[in-house]
Amino acid sequence: MKVSRLEKWFMNRPQHADRTIVRADRLIRFVDFNNQTNFLEVGCGSGAVSNYVAKRYSLEVVGTDIDLEQIRLAQQNTGNLKNLRFFEADATNLPFNNNEFDLVLSFGVMHHIPEWLAALVEICRVLNVGGHFIYWDLVYRGLSLRLARLFKSRYGATTLGEINELLDRNHLAIIHSSLKKSIMFDEYEAVYVKR
pLDDT in tens, 35-70: 778 999 999 999 999 999 999 998 999 999 999 999
Give the model confidence (pLDDT) of 119-130 as tens digits: 999 999 999 999
pLDDT in tens, 94-114: 999 999 999 999 999 999 999
| Amino acid letter for position 11 | M
Collapse the DSSP code of 151 into the 3-class scheme (helix H, G, I; strand E, B; otherwise coil) and give the result. coil
Q: What is the mean pLDDT of residues 135-140?
A: 95
For helices 116-126 and 160-169, give the axis angle rounded to 10 degrees: 30
Query: Which helix (H) or strand (E) segment is 39 a member of?
Result: strand 38-42
**Burial class of residue 161 in the structure, from the number of CB atoms within 10 Å of its CB (0-12 exposed, 13-18 middle, 19+ buried):** exposed
Q: Kindly state the average pLDDT of the residues 4-28.
A: 86
Give the contacts of 22 (CB within 8 A, at least 6 positions apart). Answer: none
Q: Is the pLDDT of residue 78 over 90?
A: no
Three-state SS at 110: helix
Q: Where are the domains of the chain?
A: 5-194
- pLDDT the model gives residue 1: 56
Digit-coded pLDDT (tens) for 145-183: 888 788 877 788 899 999 999 999 999 999 999 999 998
| Residue 40, burial from CB neighbour count under 10 angstroms (0-12, 13-18, 19+) | buried
Task: Please tell me the distance from the alpha carbon of residue 50 to that of residue 31, in angstroms, as a whole number.
Answer: 16
pLDDT value of position 72: 95
Q: CATH top-level class for 5-194?
A: alpha beta
